[in-house]
């Protein structure tokens, strides 16, 4: 078989993975980031369903392979656009899933629409497997290498075009694959190529914009959607990159007044502001500034201004500069120098150039330096030392209140992160972190607990002397000091709080009579929680608290995961009284997605295969063989998803991690698939089971080694530029992925040698496992951490050869005794 015949396989695989990564970006804009795992599950559901389809229609499809492949690839190109246009117009509201059963129906409808392009694309791959059963390793290699290129290429594409344009290009790529495949069926091949190529060009260039427009279909709970409903509000600038869609909005009729934590004692009206939304949410603001500090005196009356009362002219590091509010505050307070760290280059460009005159050129001042970096990476690698590290609000109140961030990895608020911040402070330095205020408290107490553990890890015996917490009516600011607060510091904290009608919820020497004076609660949860977390009953308090406030770590970086199952019945009974706002919707949506994916997988994949088992698998002991491919599907995706989550810290953004890790695992697994036959000849002496057993031993060794090695590698190499970190990530992934690419083609090839009809059945089983593991990996990571997920995957890999060995032993005995034919 010539390799040129497999080029359409690589092309359609690249289109499929590009579409998958692109959907994650699109749904981050339309909904929220946690839908990434749902997208992966949808993709794999389409793969599994296509396996079932090919299993039943294998013979007529294989006989018409070029035509069937071209038709499926063309349908992928059409469905890539049409299905997304339909899905985003469904009245699906993620925040109602738990208490509104109709939303589960809309979720199922979204699943069906979004899986269509993956179904058609995967049908192409399944046909290639069935058409070339003796070259499965090569087919699998072309499939995975193409997929890896598509995943990584999409990130580069999103630097150049908006997501809606990228969607058209992905559709065109599918039609291009159809054109290439059509050369194998047409008498006039160049005519076929030309006609389908023209169709691809038309799709890419002339597709009606209304089919891919995002604005009108954004979640109604996102800040941008609400802001644009104000009369005369308009978008004045929009920038897009893999890190987010930045939208700058002007509202002359109802001006923006963004000043989180502003005191009720404030009498100054903030200047004119422009709102800046990231992916339609997470608002920051560009504030009009003419150079007169008096015009921004209102910033002195926010909770974030507290550290400037106890520090004089501090060298300030701002982790998450956004539109520059905290830069203005630091300049107003007389900061000696300001290091403003921002991860999104387009945000920096807007502030330094497009709106430089509007903001008074604050980012170009001699004592202000902008740094393009991820906050944690900068703090871990800088050689400078600072008096103050400011961590401002980096998310929206609506997202925090809805709990949609609960499944979002966040390495800013982990124990290890706070240790990194403490390491770059001067001896009298302070970390100031501001969070939205929610009652009953969750994130504030979790942050307090995290800071306590971080201080103790640094050798602090009495962490309570290093902590101070104040709250306003909607924000709270926690100070973490490297040295104990002095009596003068405590007096300044109390004075600042009294002047601004803020409540001191914790400070050294504070008592119950000093709290809950201004913004009164029926119970001073924050003070009581602080006392408990600093006392000997910390573990008991954390365990019995209604929300999960255990400190976040780099192994379990889910700072916003507060969900406890035992609190669910009580909160659901209160949903008509506002109790639903206390739920962590992101976690529950993920659980609902897992349940629904399991049901759909059973209906679309397992049930048809079981009903038709006599048609194509009579000669196969199905249980053990099915369990083998089930174990492989679970194990591969568990490791892949765990690595995606782990590499978020190293690569600095979830989409980078998704694209790079997917590309690395797929491309190098494709290489491993191509080398599988040589591996079997070299070490297995022709035995598939022996070859697989040795491969999984290597997988187990490498996966276990990475559990200990990756944190050390990340710590040393975080300062590298993005391109270098991507290269390092691929090099780290390569050895493990190469061996992970061997068990599936080796097993599939030997199954095909006994029963070619079993190939799509195995493909479907593997797809079903992948559907579940894509979501299951995220849920497991929240409970047992990345270490636990990789350990479970390693165990599945080690069990798999025994399953296949048991099946082959029985099958070969039956064959030798004439009980079953050698081929079905």
Q: What is the pLDDT of residue 215?
A: 42
- Is 470 part of any domain? yes
Residue-range definition of the domain harbouring residue 448: 412-553
CA distance 322 to 307: 20
Residues 785 and 638 in one domain: yes
Residues 688 and 548 in one domain: no
Q: For CA atoms 370, 472, 587, 90, give the dihedral sign.
A: negative
Residues 609 and 669 in one domain: yes
Q: What is the pLDDT of residue 216?
A: 42
Q: What is the pLDDT of residue 224?
A: 83
Residues 33 and 94 in one domain: yes
- The total domain count for the chain is 2
- For 601, the token pair is 């997988």
Residues 527 and 593 in one domain: no
Q: What is the pLDDT of residue 38?
A: 66
Q: What is the pLDDT of residue 102?
A: 73
Residues 750 and 684 in one domain: yes
Contacts of 178 (CB under 8 A, 6+ apart): 8, 69, 70, 71, 72, 73, 74, 77, 196
Q: What is the pLDDT of residue 318?
A: 95
- Out of 553, 575, 593, a domain closes at 553
Q: What is the pLDDT of residue 585?
A: 62
Q: What is the pLDDT of residue 131?
A: 81
**CATH number for position 749:** 1.20.1250
Task: Give me the numbers of helices (H) and strands (E) for the chain, helices first please.
Answer: 27, 12
- Peptide bond before residue 440 is cis, with ω within 30 degrees of 0: yes
* pLDDT tens per residue across span 143-189: 878 888 887 888 888 888 888 888 888 888 888 888 888 775 544 45
CA distance 650 to 716: 10
- Is 752 part of any domain? yes
Q: What is the pLDDT of residue 156?
A: 83
Residues 674 and 807 in one domain: yes
H-helix segments, 403-554: 415-423, 443-457, 487-499, 525-534, 538-544
Q: What is the pLDDT of residue 816?
A: 42
Residues 151 and 47 in one domain: yes
Q: What percent of the chain has pLDDT over 70?
A: 81
- Is 93 part of any domain? yes
- Is 281 part of any domain? no
Q: Is the pTM here over 0.85, yes or no?
A: no
- For 355, the token pair is 């709106």
Q: How many CA atoms lie within 13 A of 694 on its CB side?
A: 14
Residues 548 and 622 in one domain: no
Contact 425, 385 (CB under 8 A): yes
Q: For CA atoms 621, 623, 625, 626, give the dihedral sign.
A: positive
Smallest CA-to-CA distance from 39 within 200, 177, 151 is with 151
- Is 237 part of any domain? no
- Is 73 part of any domain? yes
Q: What is the pLDDT of residue 660?
A: 86
- Out of 533, 553, 573, a domain closes at 553
Low-confidence ranges of the chain (pLDDT < 50): 1, 186-188, 204-216, 396-406, 616-620, 808-809, 811-824
Q: Tokens 């005191």 sit at which residue?
A: 263
Residues 657 and 753 in one domain: yes
Residues 524 and 665 in one domain: no
Q: What is the pLDDT of residue 817?
A: 44
- Is 119 part of any domain? yes
Residues 549 and 620 in one domain: no
Angle between helices 65-87 and 101-131 (to 10 degrees): 160
């Amino acid at each position: 078989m010539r390799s040129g015949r497999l080029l359409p396989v690589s092309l359609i695989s690249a289109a499929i993975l590009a579409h998958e990564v692109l959907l994650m970006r699109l749904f981050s804009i339309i909904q929220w980031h946690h839908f990434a795992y749902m997208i992966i599950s949808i993709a794999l559901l389409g793969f599994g369903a296509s396996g079932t389809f090919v299993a039943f229609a294998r013979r007529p499809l294989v006989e018409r392979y070029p035509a069937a492949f071209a038709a499926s690839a063309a349908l992928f190109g059409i469905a890539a656009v049409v299905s997304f246009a339909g899905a985003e117009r469904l009245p699906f509201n993620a925040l109602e899933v738990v208490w509104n059963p109709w939303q589960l129906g809309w979720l199922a409808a979204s699943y069906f629409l979004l899986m269509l392009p993956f179904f058609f694309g995967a049908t192409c791959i399944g046909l290639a497997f069935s058409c070339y059963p003796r070259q499965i390793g090569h087919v699998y290699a072309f499939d995975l290498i193409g997929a890896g290129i598509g995943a990584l290429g999409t990130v580069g594409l999103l630097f150049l075009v908006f997501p809606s344009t990228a969607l058209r290009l992905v559709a065109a790529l599918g039609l291009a694959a159809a054109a290439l495949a059509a050369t194998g069926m047409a008498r006039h091949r160049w005519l076929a190529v030309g006609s389908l190529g023209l169709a691809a060009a038309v799709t890419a260039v002339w597709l009606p914009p209304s089919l891919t427009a995002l604005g009108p279909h954004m979640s109604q709970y996102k800040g941008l959607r609400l802001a644009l409903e104000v009369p005369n509000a308009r978008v004045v600038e929009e920038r897009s990159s893999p890190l987010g869609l930045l939208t700058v909005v002007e509202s002359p009729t109802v001006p923006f007044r963004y000043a989180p934590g502003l005191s009720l004692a404030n009498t100054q009206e903030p200047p004119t502001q422009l709102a800046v939304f990231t992916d339609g949410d997470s608002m920051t603001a560009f504030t009009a500034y003419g150079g007169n500090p008096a015009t921004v005196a209102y910033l002195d009356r926010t909770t974030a201004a507290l550290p400037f009362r106890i520090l004089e002219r501090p060298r300030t590091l701002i982790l998450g500069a956004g539109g520059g509010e905290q830069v203005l505050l630091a300049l107003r307070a007389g900061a000696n120098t300001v290091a403003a760290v921002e991860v999104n280059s387009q945000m920096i460009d807007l502030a330094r150039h497009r709106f430089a005159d509007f903001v008074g050129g604050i980012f170009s001042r001699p004592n202000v330096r902008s740094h393009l970096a991820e906050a944690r990476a900068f703090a871990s690698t800088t050689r400078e030392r600072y008096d103050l590290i400011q961590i401002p609000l980096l998310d929206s109140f609506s997202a925090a209140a809805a709990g949609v961030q609960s499944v979002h990895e966040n390495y800013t608020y982990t124990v290890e992160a706070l240790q990194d911040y403490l390491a770059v402070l001067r001896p009298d330095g302070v970390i100031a972190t501001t969070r939205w205020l929610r009652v009953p408290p969750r994130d504030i107490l979790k942050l307090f607990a995290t800071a306590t553990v971080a201080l103790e890890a640094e050798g602090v015996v009495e962490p309570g002397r290093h902590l101070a917490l104040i709250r306003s009516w909607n924000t709270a600011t926690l100070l973490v000091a490297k040295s104990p607060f002095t009596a003068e510091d405590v007096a300044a904290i109390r004075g600042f709080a009294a002047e601004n009608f803020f409540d001191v919820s914790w400070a050294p020497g504070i008592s119950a009579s000093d709290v809950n004076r201004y913004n009164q609660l029926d119970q001073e949860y924050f003070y009581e929680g602080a006392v408990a977390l600093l006392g000997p009953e910390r573990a008991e308090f954390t365990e019995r608290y209604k929300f999960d406030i255990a400190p976040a770590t780099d192994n379990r970086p889910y700072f916003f995961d507060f969900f406890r199952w035992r609190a669910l019945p009580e909160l659901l009974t209160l949903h008509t009284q506002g109790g639903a706002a206390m739920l962590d919707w992101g976690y529950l949506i993920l659980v609902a997605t897992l349940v629904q994916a399991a049901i759909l997988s059973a209906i679309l994949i397992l049930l048809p295969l079981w009903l038709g088992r006599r048609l194509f698998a009579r000669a196969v002991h199905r249980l053990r063989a099915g369990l083998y491919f089930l174990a492989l599907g679970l194990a591969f995706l568990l490791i892949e998803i765990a690595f995606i989550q782990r590499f978020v810290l190293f690569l600095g953004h979830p989409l980078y991690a998704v694209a790079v890790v997917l590309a690395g695992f797929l491309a190098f697994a494709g290489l491993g698939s191509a080398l599988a036959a040589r591996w079997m000849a070299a070490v297995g002496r022709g035995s598939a089971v022996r070859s697989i057993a040795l491969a999984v031993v290597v997988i187990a060794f490498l996966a276990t080694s990475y559990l200990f090695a990756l944190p050390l590698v990340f710590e040393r190499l975080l300062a590298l530029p993005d391109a270098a970190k991507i290269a390092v990530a691929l090099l780290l992934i390569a050895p493990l992925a190469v061996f992970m690419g061997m068990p599936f083609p080796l097993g599939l090839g030997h199954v095909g040698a006994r029963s070619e009809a079993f190939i799509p059945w195995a493909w479907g089983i593997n797809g079903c496992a992948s559907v579940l593991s894509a979501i299951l990996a995220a849920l497991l990571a929240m409970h047992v951490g990345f270490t636990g997920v990789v350990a479970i995957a390693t165990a599945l890999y080690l069990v798999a050869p025994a399953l296949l060995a048991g099946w082959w032993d029985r099958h070969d005995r039956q064959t030798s005794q004439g009980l079953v034919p050698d081929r079905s």
